[in-house]
Each structure stands twice: as structure tokens, then as C-alpha cells.
Amino acid sequence: MIKVSAVITSFNAEKTIEKCLESLTWADEIIVLDSFSEDQTTEIIKKFSVVKLVQKSFKGYSQQKQDVIDMAANDWVLLLDSDECLTPKAIKKLKKWSQGTPKADGYNMPRIEWVFWHWAHPWVKRNEFIRLFKRSCSKMSPDLVHESIQVEGVVKRIYAPFKHYGETSIQVKLDKINRYSALAAQQKFERGKRCSAVRLFIYPVFYFFRQYFIKRQIFNGVAGVINASLNSYYAYMKYAKLYELQQKKD
């Protein structure tokens, strides 16, 4: 039997943390690293007697996740954000998986997105992320934003879908766009990447096409149009802020 440590990072997640933890009660260990939440997050966490709560100041998305991974007692780790939760299908699949012998060192899991006021249509292409992995051969990428697990070994796919309540309103998405685009621009600048004026005009149009048609946001109806448009806006702001950094620092 494979022992699994479920690890979560949290900050002001009172609306979602309970669902997240309820979906992980099957795990052998649950650890939450909280960045000193200012709402009821920690009070909700304390209702779960099996959960180990640790609080540390926020040191960046990647480092915060690496810190909680390093706290795990078991080599196999399941990583979730506090606004994510496993589906019943995923719980059943992972329980069955834990009874066997792993055929990989890390597993990609599909994520179901909440799109403003409803769940994404089943025909919309789902992003997949490595969330189940061996700690001994894995680490977080050093990215400032859109950080991910890097596995030295075999990576396979396991159909254990999890839900993401990340963008519950247009305002929440706009706030995230402003925050993430600044970090993404800074990261690109530090890595020597630059943006031309032409790219500012062309790339957002291409990005909308990819989101709406290739990733099939079209099946999300009006929410899909808004989401693809805002994703295109994110692409524009990311490169606009990079262009601004060039003008100030080059």
C-alpha cells in the first residue's frame, strides 16, 4: 500500500478550504501551510483534527509550495491549492491507485474549471498538471508565476479530475490578471526576453483564437467569450508590462 501525504498552501480561502480538505480525508497525512490568513481560513482548518496546520510568511508561489512539500512525511505527495478539491471520481481512482504499484514517478491530473457562474462544459479542453508525485525525485519550478512540479523520471496521466474554484467572478479574474501579468513580465525580463511593438498587436489576437476555438471555450457560451477575451487581455498586459520594463531599464 502506498502512503500519500496531501499538502496545501492557503491564504484567505474561507470559501473553499473546507471542500478542499473534505476531499483529502482519505490521505495518510494532510498538511496546510497558511500565509497568515486574515479571514476564517485557519478556524475552518482547525475543525479537521487530522490536519497539520503550519503558518509561515509568504515567500512566493513556488517557494511556498516547495516548503509544504518538504514537510511531508511520505515520499508520495498530492499537491492541491486551497481553491481546488478532488472529485468523487478522483478520490475513488486515487484510493485504488494507492493499493497497487506505481508505474511512474509523477502523474498529470485533469482540472475542471469554474468559469464565473458555472462549471466548464465537458467539451472544453482541460489543462492537466502534475499533482501526484514522488517527493524524492521532484521539485517546484523556480517560476514567479504559473509554477509547476518538475519530475526527474517517468510521468504518466491518471484520470483523477479535480475542480478549481479559481475565478469566481470577472473582478476576481481581473485582479489576478493584474497581479500575474506583472510577475510574468518581470520573469521574462529577468530571463532576457523582450517584446516588440508588433507582438503587442498580434499576439493577443492569436491568443483569443487559441482560447476560444482550439481550447474550445466556445462551448462555455457567454462565459466562454468573456473568459477567452480576458485571457487575451492577460496576454496583452503581460507583454505590455514587459515592453514598459524594456523602456525603463534597457
Domains detected in the chain: 4-166 (3.90.550.10), 169-249 (no CATH)
Per-residue pLDDT tens over the stretch 16-44: 999 999 999 999 999 999 999 999 999 99
Neighbours of 175 (CB within 10 A): 12
Please compute the mean of the pLDDT values over residues 101-128 and round it to a whole number.
98
Average model confidence (pLDDT) across the chain? 97
Check pLDDT > 60 for residue 220.
yes
pTM: 0.95
Please compute the mean of the pLDDT values over residues 199-212 and round it to a whole number.
96
Phi, psi dihedral angles at 203 (to 5 degrees) = -60, -45
Please compute the mean of the pLDDT values over residues 79-85 and round it to a whole number.
98
pLDDT of the residue at 250 = 56
Please compute the mean of the pLDDT values over residues 35-62 and round it to a whole number.
98
Please compute the mean of the pLDDT values over residues 92-113 and round it to a whole number.
98
Residue 22 in grid coordinates: 473534505
> What does the alpha-carbon distance between residue 79 and residue 71 come to, in Å, rounded to a whole number?
12
pLDDT band at 239 (very low <50, low <70, confident <90, very high): very high
